[in-house]
Amino acid sequence: MKIIMLGAPGAGKGTQAKMIAEKYSVPHVSTGDIFRANIKNGTELGKQAKEYMDAGKLVPDELTVKILLDRVAQDDCKNGYVLDGFPRTIPQAQVLEDALNKLGEKIDYAINVDVPDENIVKRMSGRRACLKCGATYHIEHIPPKQEGICDTCGSELVLRDDDKPETVLNRLKVYHDQTQPLIDFYSERNVLKTVDGTRDLKDVFADIIAILG
């Protein structure tokens, strides 16, 4: 099963993608997590990506596409995957579609987690992230068992550099300009499913499971 998560920054793509990946035993592939791991490890890719990310801009397609195609070509992806944060532009979606076409494959579902802009800024300022394992918490809605510490791997939790309110507003603008057109792209391919992402995360997940079967 090949699934794409669509939605604004902070809509809950990562939160839901992790739960889907666990339930259906497929890898959760997040380009944002891949970039953050590279930044943390001080790689050349990380240095290049950080500049764009901290400004709330998209990392250029040239850097992003190759990383994603390499990742989904790995063995653990042969039975499917959940893509979170990719594609984010029409050219990225086209490259992915072409690569899958060559293999006689296609995306099965594009799940659009719908959350209005008003809710987003509030969510982001409360988010805490684990840069080691990618787990995400929220200080009010989804607190870790011990404040500031990841339940899964015991690492320190941080406020992401790009979760500052002014950067979030930039990311929202970039989302509406460059990523939202993907809703039509996948709708035309009859794989788009929209869920209301403003509700409790368990209810959102129940809707997604009802779609995926």
- Catalytically active residues are 13, 88, 127, 160, 171
- What is the closest distance, in whole angstroms, from the C-beta atom of residue 77 to ligand AP5 in the complex? 16
Given the rule CB under 5 A, which residues bind Mg ion? Answer: 14
Given the rule CB under 6 A, which residues bind ligand AP5? Answer: 7, 9-15, 31-32, 35, 52-53, 56-59, 64, 85-86, 88, 92, 123, 126-127, 136-138, 141-142, 162, 171, 197, 200-201, 204
Q: How far apart are CA 189 and CA 68, in angstroms?
A: 21
Please state, as a whole number, how many other Cβ atoms lie within 10 Å of the Cβ of residue 21.
19
Q: How far apart are CA 208 and CA 203, in angstroms?
A: 9
Asked if residue 97 lies in contact with residue 191, where contact means CB atoms within 8 angstroms, the answer is: no
Shorter beta-carbon distance to ligand AP5: residue 2 or 171? 171
Which residue's CB atom is positioned nearest to Mg ion?
14
Q: Which does 58 bind (CB under 5 to 8 A by kind): ligand AP5, Mg ion, none?
A: ligand AP5
Q: Note the Cα 130 to chain centre separation in Å.
A: 15
Q: How far apart are CA 104 and CA 17, in angstroms?
A: 24
